[in-house]
Copies of this chain bind each other. A is one copy, B any other.
Amino acid sequence: MVGQNHHSNSLNGNGNRVTLKFLAKQLDLSPTTISVVISDSPLAATIAEKTKKRIWEAVRKFNYRPNVFARYLHGKRTYCVAVLVPDIGDEFSSSLISGIEKRLAQQGYFYFVVSHRGAPELIEKSPDTLLDRGVEGMIFINTPLGRVLPVPVVAVSDITEAPDVSSIVIDNARAARLALKHLRALGHRKIAFFRGPDGNGDTEDRWESVKSAAAELRVQIDPKLTRGLGKYPECNDTTMADLGYHAAKELLKASRDFTALVAFNDGSAIGAIRAFRDAGLKVPKDISVIGFDDIDQAAFNVPRLTTIRQPLTRMGELAASTLIKRIEHPEEKSAEILVEPMLVVRESTCALAASQTAARNSRLRKTTKR
């Protein structure tokens, strides 16, 4: 029958489960004494060294492992948290989770991950199931949280600002300014934009930031030159590169009167570059492209991607340590943690030199005819 041997305890030679009671009998001590020693409770100090040694020896000998569930029953800590994410597979999430996992492991925590692919029903129900399973806290990555949870919550790139949620967010205002200033300094004025997918936690903030930065630097945002990247949850069925690829194609169909693109992230930037090349356009010569995130592949792309770096792994670590801090010190207040972006100049952007303009225009004309 299924479920028969799901008890974790080892068996001793006689096929008996090795429990506290069993150990107690072997050692001729009471279960209490052993429990105290093994769980290293304050009382352990009062137990004779010799007894302790005997106990530990028996533990090793019989390979005793305390039953975790029996412990949980007493409301003890589970050292278990959960990570909710739209899709575990994309570059953004996986870098983040990589950082989360690293810190969590260091501190001896386990974690469940549920990737909901944007399904509202999963997003709604998962927290309860996770709570049932004893998680002591949750990290929401790009996932809307509809209600107050009885455990600490840290949000990364989140949508809704539920009260009492610590959130880790990139300073989008600064990020946008960095991107636009760079392009502006290179002489670009006709700039196209990708707006993120509706429902993505960074989309609104980033877009507003881009708009302010544009206003500040006096670059026009032409609706003809801006494209959205779909919306959740549908956009989850594909990759960011694919979204960027198609958005770029549409862009080209509508207009070729731009010299640079500010993508929503590196994935969409890479897709866009692919589309531009397919249209016979050179990046950066004809069109400069800048992304956000600095995912691993950005540095190996052809051309190497200029981007606004978000330290994703570090953000993951930060999310995890913030969560742990809140779990272990519930009295401390939560706060928003701003992460500083950084401009990484590589090869996908270049100056719009006057000399290049003629060649570029001819190429544009040529390709337009196709």
Contacts and interface: CB of A to CB of B under 8 A. Distances in A.
B69 A72 contact: yes
Given A65-B132, A302-B277, A296 B112 contact: no
Contacts of A300: 241-242, 245, 270-271, 274
Contacts of A68: 132-134
Contacts of A78: 6
B330 A2 contact: yes
A296 B8 contact: no
Interface string A222-236: 000000000000000
B113 A101 contact: yes
A239 B297 CA distance: 9
B98 A88 contact: yes
A242 B132 CA distance: 42
Residue among A77, A129, A133 facing the most chain B CB atoms (10 A cut-off): A133
Interface string A245-282: 10000000000000000000000001101100100000
Interface residues of A, number: 65
A301 interface: yes
Contact of A98 (B89, B270, B297): B89
Interface in A181-240: 239
A317 interface: no
A115 B101 contact: yes
Nearest to A328: B2
Nearest to A115: B101
A327 interface: yes
B76 A3 contact: yes
A77 B134 contact: no
Interface in A59-114: 65-70, 72-73, 75-78, 80, 87-91, 94-95, 97-98, 101, 105, 110-114
Given A2-B328, A4-B75, A273-B302, A128 B65 contact: yes
A67 B69 CA distance: 10
